[in-house]
A and B are shown apart, each in its own frame.
Chain A
Amino acid sequence: MKNFTKAIFLFSFIIPTSFAQENIWVITQKLSSEIKLSKQEVRQIYLGININLTDTITSSATTLSSSHQIRSIFNAQVIGLTESRLQSYWAHMRFSGRTKPPKEYPTINSLLKHLEATKGSIGYVPADTELPDNLIVIYPEN
């Protein structure tokens, strides 16, 4: 039993720990009021539930393509699901008429360009990425 517990503990933390080395920023365009999102809120936005960022602006998630390593890190750190389980989740959402997966961008540059031009769009980049002037970090909160 002791070995079993040890194995479960080990398996549960190996992959997230390896992904935890690089931090992630969740970013969007500057808004009329300052906004910070919790991990729960970011997770929900990326699972297809949009929220009101201001009275007139609604969130809209964008993501990197599935082959991008930053996406794997974001999946592990923020969403908490592997890519294949996310794909399974999206099949459930799409074919039950609930919601659709975020629009994908192949590179961080193309994602940044989209965010610069689209109010309410949310994306993620490696922490310490040099951001265009009109983009701000909304997660993590500190």
Chain B
Amino acid sequence: MSGLANEPSTRGDVSEKSPSTVEESVQTGPTKGVRTPSGLRLDIRLTILIGVLAALCAVGYILSPETFLGESNISIMLRLAAAIGVVSVGMTFVIISGGIDLSVGSMVALASVWMTTLATQEYGLFVMVICALAVGLGAGLINGVLISYGKVVPFIATLAMYASARGLAERLSGRQTQTVSEQGFLEFFRGDVLGIPVLIWMLALVFAVGWVVLNRTTFGRRTFAVGGNAEAARLAGINVRLHTALVYGIAGLCCGIAAIMVVARTTSGSSTNGMFYELDAIAAVVIGGTLLSGGRGTLIGTLIGVLIFTVVNSIFTQNNLDTATQNIAKGVIIVAAVLLQTASARTRKTAKT
């Protein structure tokens, strides 16, 4: 990942030291980069990921040349990717901070149900939106407080939320699908702005805000610090517990946003929404090059990871292939991504004197 260390700084700022070429090569490792003539550093792994995405698009185009790259198919693909993409943004924060969140799918389900109860719908569009955000944020913060102040291992705390949030969603909905009758909500979230669907705008916005927070704010810096070395962060005076709790809050908030998107797409809320989102999100984050051990990662990588899965999905549905094969393909992609990651970690280790 190149995120923090060298994105803004390398631009045009060629080191004053004369043997800079030597130093560059020492510090590379996973940041192994190439300097383009414009001075922008391209992460090699990111380049590979973009290449994979392009290759998959090419495959899709060859298999169904009329439709695959058509405007409607791209729009369909992105709308399907939108909710999982937003969830993956929150997941990226959690994983960079050294944690894991298994409860994202259940939180999406809970928020989608809570915002579509008859009682909530009565209050109209804004209350529905705020309800979803509050439910997501609240559930996320419960995760965070359990983990940071209750000292429960993230895997266990979010596993508990995974079970109980979906249970609560079932209880609230009576396992019934709750149709949205609030027209204002449907009109806005199913509509277009400047010819682009609102869902895609939301995806773009969440990624943009997430990128800025992660790479340009002290909050993002602390997220990397907590995940890279929590003890060093603590001894530098950073409130590691509070920060950890907030990171899980962000993940929950993203689930709230994703719930709004799912409800808009399916025009209903259901306790079965968000099934397997945790697996898809973790897979996208890992494919994107974020280390599961924390301290390193990029949102750009996560975005490409999400898009790769979306394109694979689309190729399979367009060609009427079964989902079993699709799942096998996904598994192969995950393994290939992790192998790539360990291979670059190895080059990094040997480069150490």
Chain A complexes with chain B: no
Q: Which residues of A contact B (CB under 8 A)?
A: none
